[in-house]
Amino acid sequence: MLEADYVIVGSGSAGCALAYRLSEDGKNSVIVIEYGGTDMGPFIQMPSALSFPMNMSLYDWGFSSEPEPHLGGRVLATPRGKVIGGSSSINGMVYVRGHARDFDHWAEAGAAGWSFADVLPYYKRMEHSHGGEEGWRGTDGPLHVRRGTRKNPLYQIFVEAGREAGFEVTGDYNGAKQEGFGPMEQTIHLGRRWSAANAYLRPALKRKNVSLVSGLARKVVMESHRATGVEIEARGKIQVVKAKREVILAASSINSPKLLMLSGIGPADQLKRHGIEVVADRPGVGQNLQDHLELYIQQESIQPITLYSVLNPFSKARIGLQWLLFKSGLGATNHFEAAAFVRSKAGVEYPDIQYHFLPAAIRYDGKAAAKSHGFQAHVGPMRSKSRGAVTLRSADPREKPEIRFNYMSHPDDWSDFRHCIRLTREIFGQAAFEPFRGRELSPGDDVQSDADLDDFIRAHVESAYHPCGTCRMGRADDPASVVDPECRVIGVEGLRVADSSIFPRITNGNLNGPSIMTGEKAADHILGKTPLPPSNQEPWINPHWQASDR
């Protein structure tokens, strides 16, 4: 019989961390349920192959949004990892903690005990930082974090251009000072993708008290308002994985709310409409969906120093061979090696715009490379006011849910994005880029007016693949909350959610780091441990924030 003290649904960023910590002292048995298969192929383990797994049905759930009304009815891809390691096995390997004030906002919004002072010790516990700011970073955790080699001169030129434009420079955006231009951090170790599976799950599975079960989670089994197990479909049979103590959903911001609703926990009217018996009426389940959007601003390079020179089959084969033999070279990086976090205007206390810089002009999915040497910045606002929802299409666990982001539904989103485009043009227009700068490839010099920029945004804006917020953490007496600050699902016993779905509001930057931190911290709550002592370190806030954007 399949039975353990703790049953975790999902082997993603948070689920792997949970499995590692819950089993650490050897006293508790843990089962991790994962629908996807092995992560051992080169497409996943080779960092520069990152565009492949995200577009492979073998590794991706294949979700997409409903037609987005404010984007001309476009349907946007919503990749989520369906593989060991979850989305940490198909993501871009960018490591960002989030800004200190993001977590302070969580605490103010009802997630008591999740302020920056509370979460910083968990970030330190999980990290093994190579080259981060001393005293601010962990140095012996499971998650290896490094900087790229930045051999291409354009990385440093991007940082220099930011400085010339009057912005701050930072040596470690995951240290005291997020604001500014500087090196980007990667979850890459010894030339390989350092996913949550490599960092946490593989070491955990070496213990006798941890096992991995392959199957599709259909619903949480509830007995008189208590979670007692998870119903799964495996090899054509339906069976129950029993939980002696608790069930923990770490199945993503799409699948965790879906599973709650299939289990009778969610908005009562929606559940009844699909013939699902209501166990707990929680109107917040599936609501509060958030994401980051981004645009690519592309510039031609008049010097042949970009990645365009290696986009031919012969060079790709050489890079692949070098990686296979030595785990080195251009195959061992995600190519995101320079970054920036800046504020959009005076009166904004901490950064609300993120940049990824790339010495190539190419789409994230590897398609539609420019026909010349070029470079690009991925840019987007961090704190959109637009909110969407994940809802059931039917009571069939195999059916994909309806995902409505309502992207760009708030007027501020449009002015924020126009500012992002104009700001990027200003940065690319600095003297540092003078020896390299050719014509603007995208949007193009002819796209200048607000109306033209809006048309470009509507046609080309893409998800940065950071969905979150659909099982919001907050006060237990708040009807919009789904979990309390100890990640317990409100209204039932023995059930928790711990993944990016519990974020009250999206954090600055990429979400893999905060998701792993969530698993780390949730594990202490589940085990009834006293949380790690809060930090007294003070983050850097720009002294000119009220008067200037830089």
Helix (H, G, I), strand (E, B) or coil at 502: helix
Q: b/e for 315-326, b at 16 or more Cβ within 10 A?
A: eeeebbebbeee
CA distance 360 to 378: 11
Helical (H) or strand (E) element with 22? helix 13-22
Backbone φ, ψ for residue 10 (5° rounding): 110, 125
What Cα–Cα distance (Å) separates residue 308 from each residue in 201, 313, 316, 373, 489?
A: 37, 12, 11, 5, 49
CA dist list (Å): 463 to 65, 296, 364, 378, 445: 10, 11, 10, 11, 24
Phi-psi region of 476 (alpha: psi -120 to 50; beta: other; left: phi over 0): alpha
Distance (Å, rounded) from C-alpha 133 to C-alpha 138?
9
Catalytic: 466?
Answer: yes
Strands (E), 215-351: 216-223, 226-234, 237-249, 265-266, 280-281, 293-301, 338-342
Of 70, 292, 378, 466, the active-site residue reads: 466
Per the listing, tokens 């365009």 go with 308
Neighbouring C-beta atoms of residue 373, cutoff 10 Å = 21
List residues forming the annotated binding site: 5-34, 83, 91-94
Locate tokens 């001393």: which residue? 134
In the annotated binding site for FAD, the residues are 5-34, 83, 91-94
> How far is it, in rounded angstroms, from Cα 205 to Cα 343?
43
- Residue where the block lists tokens 């099982």: 471
Cα separations in angstroms, 73 against 142, 504, 538? 43, 28, 44
Q: How far apart are the first and last CA of the chain?
A: 61
Residue 380 CA, chain-centre distance (Å), reads 15
Q: Spell out a b/e string for 127-148, using b for 16 or more CB atoms within 10 Å of the CB, else e.
A: bbbeebeeebbbeebbbbbbbb
How far is 196 from 178, CA to CA, in rounded Å? Answer: 24
Are 136 and 550 in contact by the 8 Å Cβ rule? The answer is no
State the catalytic residues.
466
